[in-house]
Amino acid sequence: MIAQILIADDNVDITNLLNEYLTRRKHRVIVVNDGFALAQKAAEHKPHLIITDVQMPGAYGSSVYQVLQKDSKTAGIPILFISAHPFEKLKNILPDDPKTRFLKKPIPFDKLDQAIKELLPMGGYIP
Protein backbone atom coordinates (compact mmCIF):
# COMPACT_ATOMS: atom_id res chain seq x y z
CA MET A 1 0.00 0.00 0.00
CA ILE A 2 1.15 3.54 -0.73
CA ALA A 3 1.29 5.93 2.22
CA GLN A 4 -1.63 8.12 3.19
CA ILE A 5 -0.24 11.62 3.78
CA LEU A 6 -2.06 14.52 5.42
CA ILE A 7 -0.89 17.96 4.26
CA ALA A 8 -1.74 21.05 6.32
CA ASP A 9 -0.83 24.54 5.11
CA ASP A 10 -2.78 27.78 4.81
CA ASN A 11 -1.01 28.54 1.51
CA VAL A 12 -3.14 26.90 -1.20
CA ASP A 13 -0.27 27.05 -3.70
CA ILE A 14 1.87 24.95 -1.35
CA THR A 15 -0.86 22.39 -0.69
CA ASN A 16 -1.64 22.13 -4.40
CA LEU A 17 2.03 21.64 -5.28
CA LEU A 18 2.60 19.01 -2.59
CA ASN A 19 -0.68 17.28 -3.39
CA GLU A 20 0.22 17.04 -7.08
CA TYR A 21 3.77 15.86 -6.39
CA LEU A 22 2.80 13.21 -3.85
CA THR A 23 -0.20 12.01 -5.87
CA ARG A 24 2.08 11.49 -8.88
CA ARG A 25 4.20 9.34 -6.58
CA LYS A 26 1.04 7.28 -5.94
CA HIS A 27 0.51 8.39 -2.32
CA ARG A 28 -3.01 9.04 -1.06
CA VAL A 29 -3.25 12.68 -0.01
CA ILE A 30 -5.60 14.56 2.31
CA VAL A 31 -5.35 18.37 2.34
CA VAL A 32 -6.42 20.82 5.05
CA ASN A 33 -5.75 24.53 5.42
CA ASP A 34 -5.66 25.20 9.17
CA GLY A 35 -4.54 23.72 12.45
CA PHE A 36 -8.00 22.77 13.73
CA ALA A 37 -8.74 20.76 10.59
CA LEU A 38 -5.31 19.14 10.90
CA ALA A 39 -6.08 17.74 14.36
CA GLN A 40 -9.56 16.62 13.28
CA LYS A 41 -8.45 14.89 10.06
CA ALA A 42 -5.45 13.26 11.73
CA ALA A 43 -7.73 11.68 14.34
CA GLU A 44 -10.28 10.69 11.69
CA HIS A 45 -7.93 9.23 9.05
CA LYS A 46 -4.80 8.26 11.07
CA PRO A 47 -2.44 9.02 8.17
CA HIS A 48 0.98 7.41 7.86
CA LEU A 49 2.62 10.86 7.68
CA ILE A 50 1.67 14.48 8.35
CA ILE A 51 3.29 17.36 6.49
CA THR A 52 2.39 20.60 8.23
CA ASP A 53 3.25 24.25 8.12
CA VAL A 54 4.49 25.49 11.47
CA GLN A 55 2.43 28.71 11.43
CA MET A 56 -1.21 28.44 10.37
CA PRO A 57 -4.56 29.93 11.33
CA GLY A 58 -6.49 28.03 13.97
CA ALA A 59 -3.48 26.42 15.60
CA TYR A 60 0.20 26.21 14.82
CA GLY A 61 1.43 22.87 13.52
CA SER A 62 3.72 22.67 16.54
CA SER A 63 0.70 23.07 18.86
CA VAL A 64 -1.27 20.41 17.01
CA TYR A 65 1.73 18.11 17.46
CA GLN A 66 1.24 18.38 21.23
CA VAL A 67 -2.46 17.48 20.89
CA LEU A 68 -1.68 14.50 18.66
CA GLN A 69 0.93 13.20 21.12
CA LYS A 70 -1.70 13.01 23.88
CA ASP A 71 -3.96 10.71 21.81
CA SER A 72 -2.82 7.09 21.59
CA LYS A 73 -4.39 6.82 18.12
CA THR A 74 -2.24 9.62 16.67
CA ALA A 75 0.85 9.74 18.92
CA GLY A 76 2.96 7.58 16.60
CA ILE A 77 2.33 9.49 13.38
CA PRO A 78 5.56 10.97 11.98
CA ILE A 79 5.43 14.69 11.25
CA LEU A 80 7.36 16.75 8.73
CA PHE A 81 7.24 20.42 9.68
CA ILE A 82 7.65 23.01 6.92
CA SER A 83 8.09 26.77 7.14
CA ALA A 84 9.40 29.79 5.28
CA HIS A 85 11.32 30.63 8.46
CA PRO A 86 14.71 29.03 9.08
CA PHE A 87 14.99 26.22 11.61
CA GLU A 88 17.10 28.37 13.92
CA LYS A 89 14.18 30.77 14.38
CA LEU A 90 11.72 27.94 15.12
CA LYS A 91 13.80 25.40 17.04
CA ASN A 92 12.39 26.54 20.40
CA ILE A 93 8.83 25.64 19.39
CA LEU A 94 9.56 22.49 17.38
CA PRO A 95 9.73 19.11 19.14
CA ASP A 96 12.98 17.24 19.53
CA ASP A 97 11.55 13.91 18.44
CA PRO A 98 13.08 11.23 16.18
CA LYS A 99 9.79 10.91 14.29
CA THR A 100 9.81 14.56 13.19
CA ARG A 101 11.76 16.45 10.55
CA PHE A 102 11.91 20.05 9.34
CA LEU A 103 12.22 21.45 5.81
CA LYS A 104 12.45 25.09 4.86
CA LYS A 105 10.22 26.43 2.09
CA PRO A 106 10.53 26.37 -0.83
CA ILE A 107 10.69 22.62 -0.35
CA PRO A 108 13.31 20.85 -2.44
CA PHE A 109 11.66 17.65 -3.69
CA ASP A 110 14.82 15.61 -3.21
CA LYS A 111 14.85 16.57 0.48
CA LEU A 112 11.12 15.84 0.74
CA ASP A 113 11.69 12.37 -0.71
CA GLN A 114 14.58 11.80 1.71
CA ALA A 115 12.46 12.85 4.71
CA ILE A 116 9.67 10.48 3.62
CA LYS A 117 12.19 7.64 3.32
CA GLU A 118 13.51 8.39 6.80
CA LEU A 119 10.10 8.70 8.45
CA LEU A 120 8.18 5.87 6.80
CA PRO A 121 8.87 2.16 6.49
CA MET A 122 10.05 1.17 3.06
CA GLY A 123 10.27 4.82 1.97
CA GLY A 124 6.54 5.42 1.98
CA TYR A 125 5.36 2.03 0.82
CA ILE A 126 3.41 0.71 3.76
CA PRO A 127 3.37 -3.10 4.15
pLDDT tier at 63 (50, 70, 90 boundaries)? confident
- Higher pLDDT: 114 or 64? It is 114
Q: Residue 58: what pLDDT?
A: 75
pLDDT, mean of residues 87-102: 92
| Domain edges within the chain | 4-124
Checking if the pLDDT of 124 tops 80, the result is no
Q: Residue 125: what pLDDT?
A: 66
Distance from C-alpha of 42 to C-alpha of 37, rounded to nearest angstrom: 8
pLDDT, mean of residues 84-100: 92
Beta sheet of 28-32, edge-to-edge order? 28-32, 4-8, 49-53, 79-83, 100-104
Q: Provide CB contacts within 8 A for 1, sequence distance 6+.
A: 125, 126, 127
Q: Residue 38: what pLDDT?
A: 93
Fold of 4-124: Rossmann fold (3.40.50)
Residue 74 phi, psi (nearest 5): -120, -5
